[in-house]
């Protein structure tokens, strides 16, 4: 199974929403709830996307994708952070990925693309939320990246999926 995502999932599931009290304002409570729901949704989609590709993936790639997945909504996915979380230097990670014919940017972009396509299938998710879940600060940046990946805009992909 996906060890990194499983460990992450157990941490999320262990978080309980505190009862409303004077310590949490209404806005803080709603924000906390929204973040928890978003992270749970991200986990679900990441596990599904990774499961679809598991047969042809290396263990290192899976570990890198798991590490990336937890950082995507924060918009700060840097190779040095991923390498550190995997217990190796940035250069060692680059070398090991290169030995498998991969590079960090390629893995990041493919994971974002796969998750974007999967998210767009869920019509309840607004494009701005999808952009945030994938670590884009602007919807326009997500739209440009998606068009580069697929040749279509997110709205064109949704329209084509509805037919």
Interval 23-42: pLDDT, tens: 557 677 777 777 878 777 77
Give this prediction's pTM. Answer: 0.65
Each residue's pLDDT tens digit, 30-79: 777 778 787 777 777 777 766 665 555 579 999 999 999 988 988 789 99
Q: According to the model, what pLDDT value does residue 43 have?
A: 73
Q: Is there a contact between 39 and 73 (Cβ–Cβ < 8 Å)?
A: yes
Nearest-angstrom CA–CA distance, 121 and 126: 11
DSSP tag of 158: H
Cβ proximity of 155 and 147 under 8 Å: no
63, 86 Cβ separation under 8 angstroms? yes
pLDDT-derived band of residue 2, with 50, 70 and 90 as boundaries? very low
Instruction: Give the tokens for residue 113.
Output: 């693309």
The token pair that represents 56 in the structure block: 């042809």
Burial of 142 (0-12, 13-18, 19+ CB in 10 A): buried
């Amino acid at each position: 199974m996906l060890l990194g995502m499983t460990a992450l999932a157990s941490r999320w599931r262990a978080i309980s929403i505190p009862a409303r009290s004077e310590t949490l304002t209404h806005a803080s409570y709603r924000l906390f709830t929204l973040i928890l729901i978003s992270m749970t949704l991200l986990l679900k989609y990441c596990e599904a996307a990774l499961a679809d590709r598991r047969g042809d993936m290396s263990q290192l790639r899976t570990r890198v994708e798991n590490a990336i997945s937890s950082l995507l909504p924060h918009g700060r996915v840097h190779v040095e952070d991923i390498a550190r979380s995997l217990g190796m230097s940035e250069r060692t990670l680059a070398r090991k990925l290169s030995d498998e014919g991969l590079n960090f940017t390629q893995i990041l972009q493919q994971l974002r693309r796969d998750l974007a396509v999967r998210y767009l299938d869920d019509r309840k998710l607004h494009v701005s939320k999808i952009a945030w879940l994938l670590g884009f600060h602007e919807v326009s940046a997500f739209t440009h990246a998606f068009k580069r990946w697929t040749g279509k805009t997110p709205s064109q992909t949704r329209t084509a999926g509805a037919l």
